[in-house]
Chain A
């Protein structure tokens, strides 16, 4: 399947928050990048690709195939093909761990549960509703309420002594709920722990609808959050694995693998 060394292909994943690129050659990742998505989706994809190209030490003209994915996939004029992020996350996760059957992808603006079969094919998927509840954006808004960087949310949740239950995962309502909880004197880490559990609870709902089967893989930017991994494991009562490198790159990795497959064809 994999193209030989010296033949390069790329996957570009333009999400709501980050644009990601992965460059592969001979079945190995030779370049990757994550940049913030700007107003212009195509430019964001291009700048992610440029960074990854530099890392790989090659030019854009060296790429034999480019597959685009993510919300901005249709804007990428330089892509040879577009594939949805659902297919790409599945492909990326399966390539790292062929025992994976269920994938949770939590990105900036949405959240999906994906089921794959023993050959890595998507059999079923569910995406959350058209709002930011239970997504990376939700965590971002919460981190602003607590005046800490979003990257500290997870570690802080792990320090909690208890879990303050949150009744809302609506980004707008939760903000005011958190403010009243703080006014009541609850500790930030306990509330943050509750925030993580509230999101995990919602995701568990998606997982139930799609059917939960081992191994469970967690991809997307939010998978970098240790507090979220722990909350998910507690609620679904299963081990949750993720990428040791960067789970945010799963979509781009899957896209790059599809690109490599297209060369092989």
Chain B
């Protein structure tokens, strides 16, 4: 049984482009942004409409975008440029400004390409390479200040402390509620699937944030009620999905995992759990937000400079494994997403003690789909084999 609030959320996303159009006719401005290092709260507090951009899964758009940004960037960014080139996708089309947090150099290039080829005003928020040093922290605070000043100019009004505090509170509530919803999907049996929660997180890229929060509260209470009357347990092998961003529209890997009989119970994707957790603004100020975003669970693009033991990305993965009890980890890397691809080997080495690990290196084109299916099918077989081995060992001991 599916939660009925999910249909209301899906409907709201469908109606959102028209809402945005009407709002813009009345003078509202839409700020489309890229990358989870963007402190959305600032955009929201200025009365601008934040929309997180980017899509995946379409090889045609990858080809189109590649004409502008080149063939040497990841398909996520090529497709995202393709959206602007094609001019049909309603959210990128609705943007009055595109803001880009430069967690990776390809993101930086995206900002340049969007500005140069499509004449859309862009703002860049620099993300420091080294956030372990006080200088790195100070750099990001300055960047956020500067970014906010430019946004103020664009919005034509000043950032109000009370409005910022309100936005910080709203986002905090949204994230907290999403985390509670997220916990439900990993339960056994569960009233909601990981995939449904993933879509709910993506709905938050687009919807009016206050309305979104109300929908999330409804969903949460509905899930609570549903949990009281759930049927049989779910026997499918539990999978943790990690690695490169999987944006809305990219269902290739998720479909293959489900078709192979696997069940995703957790992720650390920047389009998933990493987007809604680990952000805690100690003060509702620009400096407070800068610190909160620099302290969140880092993207693989950012180095762990003191030592691998202190890498919060790996720490977070270990925490997710403890919390959601996956049996296997599928580490997704896109070609040219160097950051995640570089870190696959050490992620495997460290996580393999806890969990079976497999890397899937792919793009959006379907040319490798059967080869990847074989890998995923075999991985599920390995997990099932481990279960049987555990059961037979337990039987021997028992």
Contact = CB atoms under 8 A, between A and B. Distances in A.
B283 interface: no
Interface residues of A, number: 17
Contact of A123 (B375, B377, B382): B382
Interface stretch (B14-22, B108-116, B189-197, B366-374): B366-374
Given A119-B389, A121-B389, A86 B381 contact: yes
Contacts of B356: 124
A122 B385 contact: yes
- For A110, A124, A130, the residue with the greatest tally of chain B CB atoms inside 10 Å of its CB is A130
Contacts of A129: 361
Contacts of A71: 370, 374
A163 interface: no
A82 to B, nearest CB: 8
A122 B389 contact: no
A125 interface: yes
A85 interface: yes
Contacts of B361: 129
Nearest to A110: B371
Contacts of A84: 374, 377-378, 381
Nearest to A123: B382
A85 B386 CA distance: 18
Given A121-B385, A122-B385, A130 B367 contact: yes
A198 to B, nearest CB: 22
Interface string A106-130: 0000100000000101111101011
A82 B373 CA distance: 13
Contacts of A82: 377
Nearest to B373: A74
A129 B382 CA distance: 20
A87 B371 contact: no
Given A86-B374, A86-B378, 12 more contacts: A71-B374, A82-B377, A84-B374, A84-B378, A84-B381, A119-B389, A121-B385, A122-B382, A124-B356, A127-B375, A129-B361, A130-B367
Interface of B: 356, 361, 367-368, 370-371, 374-375, 377-378, 381-382, 385-386, 389
5 contacts: A84-B381, A87-B378, A119-B389, A122-B382, A123-B382
